[in-house]
Structure 1
Amino acid sequence: MRAFNVEFYKESPHRLIEEIETAFNARFSYVLSANLSQLVCLNQHGDLQQAYAKASHCVCDSAAMLSFFKLCKSELPQVVPMRELAETFLEKAAMNDWPVTVIGCEPRIVRILRRRYPSVTLNHHYPPIPHMHNREVQEGCLRFISEHPAPIVLFCLPCPAQELLAMQTRDRGSIEGVGLCLGNALDSLIEEQEPAPAWMHTFKLERLHASARSLNCSATDLLRFAPIVVRQYWANRSEQSLAKQTAAPHD
């Protein structure tokens, strides 16, 4: 189903897991999520739109996002939290002796993961995050993925860096496996929620901050998403109106 310029996954999480496992030994593919912050970014970056178009799957990873689908009178996608998807495959890796490659993610978090999953070989590469636009940094990531083959690659980078790197890995052609673009999903396993900034208290915007936290975005992104919702609403309304006119009996 398509909404907000993204083709969302409609099947069950169990079906998605099966489809990912089936693709382990095929040309590299990748799974993206589309939360509010990413959808805002998507509307600002042409390259990111291409990355979403090439993804094998795109999931809605937050139940809080469903309110926007309902507001726009869109069909509801399946909610598949990327954090839970990552945990599922880490557990499967532990049971099946699969290596896992991690790109990004702070070393301290990887140390915690290694303690939690001692039987999993975690190949970790931590590039200089502020310089992910640098071609040499990107090549270093691609080289590490190629030299550490694994059925699952966890991209833990900011948007749009992780999505573009996943697309580059796919386009390399010689790499197999499946990438999961997680953003800070692994970080959230141990991080505490941050309080609202002082300026938001000053202007009585704590509820806006709380809403943004539930959607895994900033308050600014929440405001920027408003016109995207309006466009989707009117697009859906126009489609429904046209469908009614087409279905109406002719005189």
Structure 2
Amino acid sequence: MLATATIPATAAPPRRRVFGVDFTPVGLEDALALAAAREPAAPFAFIVTPNAQHVVLLNRAPAEWAPIYHRDSWLCTCDSQVVRRLAALAGQELPLCAGSDLTAALFARVLQPGDRITVIGCEPEVIERLRAHVPRLGIAHHNPPMGLAANPAAMQACLDFALLHPARFTFLATGSPQSERLAAAIAARGGATGIGLCIGSSLHFITGARRRAPAWMRRAGLEWLHRLVQEPRRMWRRVFVESLPLLALAAPEIARRAWRR
């Protein structure tokens, strides 16, 4: 059952720019209410959940990525406790709505028996786990090859699959920022319906294929550390090269606030 939201379920509130990213300032309950209230047959709209890595990417290549995150997305929610806390130090309130939490809540509290979902990406064994976990959902799955962004034929196959398999929710798990690019392409093509979510490893967590950080680590903003310890070869570059520059982006705004105070 949905908890009471604090905003009307018909429209997202105005966005708020934090560290160069236009976030939709909603927490989990409000984002969930917005997603639940949207008509399944409405034209395709998608949700992005930027973390520290995405904030850095948007600042490094705004001409390439800002249109997807700022103009094309329906909701753009904060995925990162680190981003949220740095924003607070800079004097900006930014609610947290992590993509993995939103995905889990949709499965637990919004999706109903008989609903159809589409998954693009994710290993077949994870999808089999998902079918066992939610046997009453209709699941259409397409797993594109690696290097999707550089493979026009594979990208076209994903677009065709999304159009041929309309669903209340389409979960995109092709890696970031490929999933965001794919979501924007589905929306731009037209004809697709429902809501798309760029979900990273969310289905791995739901099905138990991968262990998520304990709740106390997530609350403390240490989920990145848990994943780094679990998958050092995969995560070290994401943490130390692609995410760490966030501190340099945030420092001037934090310093300005401290000076004003």
Q: Report the TM-score when normalising by structure 1.
A: 0.78
Q: Which amino acid aligns with 1:106?
A: E
> Contact (CA 8 Å) 1:153, 1:180: kept in 2 or not?
yes
Matched, 1:132 2:149: yes
Name the % identity: 23
Partner of 2:124: 107
The alpha carbon displacement at 1:77 in A equals: 1.6
Identify the match of residue 31 of structure 1 among 44, 47, 50.
47
Equivalent residue for 2:167?
150
Alpha-carbon distance in structure 2 between the residues aligned to 1:15 and 1:113: 26
Cα distance in structure 2, aligned partners of 1:16 and 1:108 = 29
Distance 2:174 2:58 in 1: 16
Q: Secondary structure at the match of 1:84?
A: helix
What is the CA-CA distance between 1:37 and the residue it aligns to? 1.2
State the partner residue of 1:191.
210
RMSD, aligned CA: 2.8
Corresponding position: 1:85 with 2:97: no
Structure 1 position 138, deviation (Å):
0.9
Determine the structure 2 residue equivalent to 1:64. 82
* CA 93–113 in structure 1, closer or farther in 2 if over 3 Å, else same: farther
Gaps of 5+ in 2: 1-15, 214-221, 230-234
Contact kept in structure 1, 2:48 and 2:75, CA below 8 Å = yes
Relative to structure 2, which stretch is displaced further, 141-150 or 106-115? 106-115
Which 4+ runs in 1 deviate beyond 4 A? 211-214
SS of residue matched to 1:87: helix
Q: Secondary structure at the match of 2:127?
A: helix
Deviates more, 1:150-159 or 1:86-95: 86-95
8 Å Cα contact 1:48-1:163 kept in structure 2: no
Retained in 2: the 8 A contact 1:102–1:124? Answer: yes
Contact 1:47 1:164 in 2 (8 A): no
Equivalent residue pairs, number: 225
Q: Distance in 2 between matches of 1:170 and 1:225?
A: 29
Question: Is the counterpart of residue 219 in structure 1 residue 240 in structure 2?
Answer: yes
3-state SS in 2 of match to 1:186: helix
Decide whether aligned partners of structure 1 residues 179 and 167 sit closer, same or farther in structure 2, where only a CA change above 3 A counts.
same
The answer as to 2:26 corresponding to 1:5 is no
Partner residue of 1:248?
none
Give the number of the structure whose alpha-carbon radius of gyration is greater.
1
Q: How does the TM-score come out when normalised to structure 2? A: 0.76
One-letter code aligned to 2:35: I
The one-letter amino acid paired with 2:112 is M
Distance 1:64 1:233 in 2: 14
Name the amino acid aligned to 2:171.
L
Segments of 5+ residues of structure 1 without an aligned counterpart are: 195-206, 245-251
Shift of the alpha carbon at 1:120? 1.0
| C-alpha distance in 2 between matches for 1:128 and 1:13 | 32
Q: Which residue of 1 aligns with 2:232?
A: none
CA contact (8 A) 2:131 2:139 kept: yes
Quote the residue 1:228 is aligned against: 249
Letter in 1 for 2:251: V
2:106 partner amino acid: F
Q: For residue 11 of structure 1, what is the amino acid of its counterpart?
A: V
Name which of 198, 201, 204 aligns with 1:181: 198
1:210, 1:40 → 2: CA distance?
18
